[in-house]
Amino acid sequence: MEPHNKSQLSEFLLVGFSEDPAPQPLIFGLFLSMYLLTVIGNLLIVLAILSDTHLHTPMYFFLANLSSYDMGLTSTIVPKMLVNIQTQNQAISYAGCITQLYFFLLFVELENFVLAVMAYDRFVAICHPLQYTVIMNPRLCGHLVLVSWIISFLHALLQSLMVLRLSFCLHLEIPHFFCELNHVARLACSDTFLNDVIMYFFIILLAVGPLAGILYSYSKIVSSIRKISSAQGKYKAFSTCASHLSVVSLFYGTGLGVYISSTATQNSHASARASVMYTVVTPMLNPFIYSLRNTDVKMALKRLFGQKL
């Protein structure tokens, strides 16, 4: 294939899940429903936390951030896909593709970091309860969020700039429903060795690092819970972690599943379908997980609706 001059490159084609036009209306309705549920559910969580002073604690501060990142992640991907299905046009501009890639990486990394920070928060609450308010002070919470933003911003910027240096071929079909870094790099005609090295280095560094922190925090939490003598005390301690554990399992389980399946199979459409789990389904389920299992959030939502009525 011949390389395409980057200055003349105008667009990519997002093939999506299937090139067959028959299931497109069903896909449109399904993703529109999931997107609306995601935005409404996460927005309600944020509004409930902001409006209720009882929830102005580190745990719910981080939960509000997680809900905001969930909305950002799905809004980066789903609206463009819905527009393409509705207009029966698979095109996304070169600038639009790089922009989508940047914000996708940004919000995925932010979720990655906030889940690790939430695990640390639970570790301090259970293992050092008497020092919790001193350790998890507003200044530290703000700094943790700020540092995660700085790292995520710089990583997304670096990866986007690395893609900008590539020359692309004439065959510009992306077998995915959004501009995913690995799929975009595969279309390049120029050498991608440096891109691959940087991509996998930061995947290991920025994914395995926070995950190791989460595992370490929960190993200490389990050890502390085992020392509690009463069954009721053990249940109460574990219940404060149950929602976070569920979200962590969904996010990392589906995310790792996508990359494992993509290396095990050459079916790009299968990889795209698997990606739905951590890019769309997990952000949609998070509000239900936290609201259904958390009495404080349920009471805050009731008070929020009571104020609106």
How confident is the model over 186-233, as pLDDT tens digits?
888 888 999 999 988 998 888 889 999 999 999 999 999 888 888 887
The pLDDT value recorded for residue 63 is 94
Percent with pLDDT over 70 in the chain: 90
The pLDDT value recorded for residue 7 is 44
46 CB neighbour count, 10 Å cutoff? 18
Domain ranges in the chain are 11-308
The pLDDT value recorded for residue 81 is 93
| Residues in contact with 287: Cβ distance below 8 Å, sequence separation at least 6, in sequence order | 38, 41, 42, 44, 45, 67
The pLDDT value recorded for residue 1 is 46
Please state, in angstroms and as integers, the Cα–Cα distance from residue 142 to each residue in 148, 155, 175, 255, 296, following that order.
10, 20, 39, 27, 22
The pLDDT value recorded for residue 269 is 64
What span, in angstroms and rounded, lies between the C-alpha atoms of 64 and 48?
9
* Class level of CATH domain 11-308: mainly alpha
The pLDDT value recorded for residue 267 is 56
The pLDDT value recorded for residue 263 is 56
Which own/partner contact pairs does 219-223 have at CB distance under 8 Å and 24+ positions apart?
Answer: 220/123, 220/127, 221/122, 221/123, 221/126, 221/127
What is the SS3 assignment for 165? coil
- Consecutive sets of 10 residues in the chain, 309 residues long: mean pLDDT of each? 52 81 87 96 94 92 96 96 91 94 96 96 93 95 97 96 89 87 88 91 88 94 87 80 88 75 58 81 90 82 73
Reference 45, options 309, 308, 292; nearest CA is: 292
The pLDDT value recorded for residue 80 is 94
CB 5 within 8 A of CB 166: no
What span, in angstroms and rounded, lies between the C-alpha atoms of 291 and 37?
14
Amino acid identity of 9? L
